[in-house]
Amino acid sequence: MNHKLEGGSVTLREIKYKLSLKIKTAKEHLNIEVTGGYSSDLLSDVMANAKKGNIWITVQSHPNIVAVASLLELSAVIVTGGKKIEKETLSRAEREDITIFDTTDSTFNIVGKLYKMGVIGG
């Protein structure tokens, strides 16, 4: 599900606080503006459809999510459903300057909350 912003911009900091997310890596990047969002658990789907600056919502937590986020220059990754994020994933994210958030909330609820913030399907 690809998203774009309706109206003004939103930063990672705003998303973190409004969605009550826990930041796991690259805490210094909270001023980054999000260009939109993408929600998928298939890495190949994300690689084919997510856009630079998107925030990615997924239940995946293995190190390959960092490679995809870095390759596409995504603004951040939100790991949903309370999934435990692997240590290697967090280490790679710090090295690659990729911001990862986690939440116990479901992907469905996070996407809905982002929609309310102005991130709409396009």
What are the pLDDT digits (tens) for 42-99? Answer: 999 999 999 999 999 999 999 999 999 999 999 999 999 999 999 999 999 999 999 9
Q: What's the rounded Cα separation, in Å, for the pair 60 and 10?
A: 24
Secondary structure class of 66 (helix, strand, coil): helix
Contact 54, 3 (CB under 8 A): yes
**Alpha carbons within 13 A on the beta-carbon side of 76:** 29
24-36 average pLDDT score? 92
In whole angstroms, how far apart are CA 16 and each of 44, 48, 51? Answer: 26, 26, 20
Amino acid at residue number 40: S
Global model pTM greater than 0.95 = no
pLDDT, the chain, mean: 91
Percentage of the chain modeled with pLDDT above 70: 91
In whole angstroms, how far apart are CA 42 and each of 7, 9, 81, 99? Answer: 29, 27, 16, 19
Closest CA to 116 of 37, 31, 33, 22: 37
In the chain, the domains with their CATH numbers are: 2-121 (3.40.1390.20)
